[in-house]
Amino acid sequence: MYRWIATVLLASVAAGVAAQAQLAHVAPESKFEFTLVTRWSQVLVGRFVGGAGEVVDLGNGKRQVRLRLPTANVEIVDHPRYTSLTRGPRFFDAARFPDVQFISEPYDAAILRDGGTLHGQLRMHGIQRRERFVLSAGQCARPGRDCAIHAQGVVRRGDYDLDGWRLALKDEVRFDLQVRLTDVASEPAK
């Protein structure tokens, strides 16, 4: 009897793993940018350098994207001083919180072609919240492969306790992501 239960449990776990097969990795040429605006209307463009991630097949035609954006590599374009402050303890605090993560809710692949809203869990500065990104309609036959997947979203710094520069920066942070994918099947064997 116990052997039968163990066999059923192992089969269930194996089915769950198979249902979450990796389809693609986020390609290095992807761009993960954000915009901050000062109280004096100066626009600061930031970027996460070295972002990584994957797309997994959840089964039943659903997929999930998982992104990891390292905070130690964040840079504010053309502003080395702001770059240092952004990585520091009063903003991203890269020493304590080494990355920003986004895990999408299950979605249908058609959203890449047609565009639409993608919800998911964003973890930043140790706080996790449900956020949404709006995907533009694909500009090619195979979005992510032949052209970038373009997604935009807006979050509030205060929701994530990113309160450094509170008097100098507006609360709104605009994300602009251009994601390219590499199919797992097309990667060379290791």
* pLDDT, tens digit (0-9, with 9 covering 90-100), for 44-63: 999 999 999 999 999 999 99
- Among 140, 132, 148, 124, smallest CA distance to 46 is for 124
What torsion do the CA atoms of 72, 73, 76, 81 make, to the nearest 10 degrees? 50
> What pLDDT was estimated at residue 4?
40
Domain membership flag for residue 70: yes
> Hunting for tokens 């520069």 — which residue is that?
165
For the beta carbon of residue 30, count every other beta carbon within 10 angstroms.
21
What is the radius of gyration, based on Cα positions, of the chain? 19
CATH number of the structural domain spanning residue 102: 2.40.128.110
Q: What is the pLDDT of residues 95-142, one digit of tens each?
A: 999 999 999 999 999 999 999 999 999 999 999 999 999 999 999 999
Domain membership flag for residue 12: no
Domain membership flag for residue 8: no
Domain membership flag for residue 91: yes
Exposure string over 6-19, b if 16+ CB within 10 A, otherwise e: eeeeeeeeeeeeee
pTM: 0.84
Both ends of the chain: CA-CA distance in Å? 41
Question: What does residue 12 show for φ and ψ, rounded to 5 degrees?
Answer: -65, -45
For the beta carbon of residue 170, count every other beta carbon within 10 angstroms.
14
> What pLDDT was estimated at residue 186?
58
Position 87 confidence tier, pLDDT thresholds 50, 70, 90: very high
Mean pLDDT of 36-43: 92
Q: Which of 37-46, 80-89, 178-187 has the lowest mean pLDDT?
A: 178-187
**What's the domain count of the chain?**
1
Domain membership flag for residue 45: yes
- Among 94, 17, 87, 101, smallest CA distance to 52 is for 101
**Cα separation, 112 vs 134, whole angstroms:** 11
Domain membership flag for residue 82: yes
Mean pLDDT of 29-40: 94
Range of the domain at 103: 20-186
| 142 close to 124: Cβ distance less than 8 angstroms | no
Domain membership flag for residue 89: yes
| 46 close to 75: Cβ distance less than 8 angstroms | yes
| 110 close to 137: Cβ distance less than 8 angstroms | no
**Cα separation, 150 vs 190, whole angstroms:** 31
Q: What is the pLDDT of residues 131-188, one digit of tens each?
A: 999 999 999 999 999 999 999 999 999 999 987 677 788 999 999 999 999 998 755 5
Domain membership flag for residue 46: yes
Question: What does residue 98 show for φ and ψ, rounded to 5 degrees?
Answer: -70, -10
